Structure 1
Amino acid sequence: MIFLSNPRIFWIITLFYLLIIFMLSSLSHPPQPLENNIFPVLAHLVEYTILGILLYTSLHSTLDIDPKKILFLAFLFSSFYGLTDELHQFFVPGRHCSLLDLVVDVLGSFIGASLSFLKSKSNPGSSRS
């Protein structure tokens, strides 16, 4: 697909996804019962795995540097976004800042960026024209 060869498309998708995360974090909701705690944890893991993938792909399509540095940057930025997201939730009525959520966000960021890194190593030049 030609539109996927344009780095701007990757960045637009990534920025849109960051906006979605922010908007979802801005919604207040009642506390979840303890037996439902696995769903929010899995949601955070999937959410930040996707973010790690998107950031790695966007950076890889833009920067001409060592893929290990791109992996580090994608992991660092998505983890930092997870931190700011948790701090943001501190100020949202009905939400709270959670260390567990942050740890899961960081884990998801690592998984997503690492999966993208491994895919780019097995298929060099797949994101760049």
Structure 2
Amino acid sequence: MIAIWTMSGLPHDTIMNLPNNTMDRFLKESLHLVEFAFLYVLIIYAFLANGKLTSFISLAAVIFASFYGLADEIHQAFVPYRSATLIDAIKDVTGAFVAFTIVNYMYFKKNSRIGRWMAMFSEWARPQ
């Protein structure tokens, strides 16, 4: 969360500026989807490591990640050289909800390999 907030407070070309403007824009726009999906997954793994992951916690995590995305867009509205747009907020929420859908399908509904890995991680990481 600190990394997202910090990078959102910097001009868009501070960390990376590709010579091809189309590729640079595509990559940076797609990061909206990735960073909030990743935030959701990190929250999930924190609960999974403590053996407390439930479908309700998963829903709460996606709502939290989505609201953090909205808060980040509001933050960007006050940063010089940055912008806050509705489409960026939609991408933030979409990234979190795509990850939520995958986790709920793989872990809670289907006995998949990813779901088994998550369960093994939970058993391994759970405090004794």
Identify the match of residue 8 of structure 2 among 2, 25, 37: 25
Q: Partners in 1 of 2:68 and 2:50 — Cα distance?
A: 20
In 2, distance between residues paired with 1:88 and 1:82? 10
Question: How far 1:49 moved relative to its partner?
Answer: 1.3
TM-score (norm 2): 0.71
Give the Cα–Cα distance (whole angstroms) in 1 for the partners of residues 94 and 40 of structure 2. Answer: 10
Alignment-derived partner of residue 59 in structure 2? 72
Amino acid at match of 1:43: L
Post-superposition offset of 1:89: 0.4
**Whole-angstrom CA distance in 2 between matches of 1:58 and 1:28:** 31
Q: 2:72 aligns with which of 85, 88, 94?
A: 85
The aligned residue for residue 84 of structure 2 is 97
Give the CA deviation at 1:113.
Answer: 2.7
Counterparts of 2:40 and 2:67, CA distance in 1: 11
- In the alignment, is the contact (CA less than 8 A) between 2:50 and 2:122 conserved in 1? no
Report % sequence identity.
Answer: 30
The aligned residue for residue 45 of structure 2 is 57
Separation of aligned partners in 2, 1:90 and 1:83: 11
Deviates more, 1:42-51 or 1:54-63: 54-63
Describe the shift of the 1:100–1:34 C-alpha distance in structure 2 as closer, same or farther (beyond 3 A): farther
**Aligned pairs (5 A) from 1:2-13:** none
Q: Provide the C-alpha distance between the structure 2 equivalents of 1:72 and 1:90, rounded to a whole number of angstroms.
A: 28
| Count of residues in Structure 1 that have an aligned counterpart in Structure 2 | 110
Residues 90 and 97 of structure 1 are in contact (CA less than 8 Å); yes or no, is this contact kept in structure 2?
yes
Q: Structure 1's 61 and 75: CA in aligned 2 closer, same or farther, altered over 3 A?
A: same
- In 2: Cα distance, 1:22 partner to 1:112 partner: 20
Contact 1:56 1:113 in 2 (8 A): no
2:32 to 31, 38, 44: 44
Would the aligned equivalents of 1:56 and 1:117 in 2 still touch at CA under 8 Å? no
- Paired with 2:91 and 2:59, the residues of 1 have a C-alpha distance of 17
